[in-house]
């Protein structure tokens, strides 16, 4: 009975924290994910807490947990990419490049990993990538303040800096759908995001949602 209850509690805290994080509520998610890690110091829980710190813009703390995750599971490509991305946001290219080079060499047939490595190796590409991410953060702040014209300006600038970013296109889709109430324009951007990253379930869901809205003439 004890083992069953212990497993139930571990899963409850982890799943509850993940759901809150996915809903964009990292502050509420934090105590659940922290409790899950205290109960089970697994790479999965380490990674979840790192993502939560990133969402809370506490990158130094996120870095510590990501390093621990990568040390415990060096073949965890997602953790390696996340850590590398964190280094890139801090413009610590010398730390990101060897991680992505090793990942690309380990999976030579993976075009996505190769693209990550090529980007971090190119001074112009990596700077454009980081600047686009900074503009996305500025966008969120403008939306929070209801400064929608400034938010759209930032999004369009992000698109100019990194036109191959599926996340920039996805954010533009969300802006046109939720703020501008323009499902046709949203569909265009969601479609771009999906074409750039067809394995992302959220992109596929958003594309199908706007497809239905456009079909209904809304």
Rounded to whole angstroms, how far apart are CA atoms 58 and 53?
Answer: 5
Q: The whole model's pTM is what?
A: 0.81
Give, for all 218 residues of the chain, the pLDDT tens digit.
457 788 888 899 999 999 999 888 999 999 999 999 999 999 999 999 999 999 998 999 999 999 999 999 998 999 999 999 999 999 999 999 999 999 999 999 998 899 899 999 999 999 999 999 999 999 989 998 999 999 999 999 999 999 999 999 999 999 999 999 999 999 999 999 999 988 888 999 999 999 999 998 75
First to last CA, the chain: 53
Rounded to whole angstroms, how far apart are CA atoms 126 and 108?
Answer: 21
In the chain, what are the domains? 2-124 (1.25.40.10), 125-215 (1.25.40.10)
Our CA dihedral for 13, 16, 18, 20, rounded to 10 degrees, sits at: -140
Rounded to whole angstroms, how far apart are CA atoms 36 and 44?
Answer: 10
């Amino acid at each position: 009975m004890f083992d069953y209850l212990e497993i139930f509690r571990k899963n409850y805290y982890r799943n509850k924290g993940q759901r809150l994080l996915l809903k964009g509520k990292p502050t509420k998610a934090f105590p659940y994910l922290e409790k899950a890690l205290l109960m089970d110091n697994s790479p999965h829980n380490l990674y979840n807490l790192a993502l939560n710190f990133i969402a809370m813009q506490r990158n130094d703390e996120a870095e510590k947990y990501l390093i621990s995750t990568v040390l415990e599971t060096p073949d965890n490509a997602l953790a390696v990419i996340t850590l590398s991305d964190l280094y890139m946001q801090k413009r610590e290219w010398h730390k990101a490049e060897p991680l992505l080079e090793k990942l690309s060499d380990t999976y030579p047939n993976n075009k996505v990993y190769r693209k990550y490595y090529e980007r971090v190796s190119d001074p112009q590409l990596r700077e454009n990538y980081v600047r686009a991410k900074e503009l996305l953060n500025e966008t969120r702040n403008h939306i929070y303040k209801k400064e929608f014209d400034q938010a759209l300006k930032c999004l369009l600038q992000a698109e100019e800096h990194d036109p191959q970013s599926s996340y920039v296109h996805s954010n533009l889709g969300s802006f046109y759908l939720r703020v501008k109430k323009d499902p046709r324009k949203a569909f265009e951007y969601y479609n771009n995001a999906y074409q750039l990253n067809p394995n992302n379930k959220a992109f596929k869901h958003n594309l199908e949602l706007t497809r239905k809205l456009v079909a209904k003439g809304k």
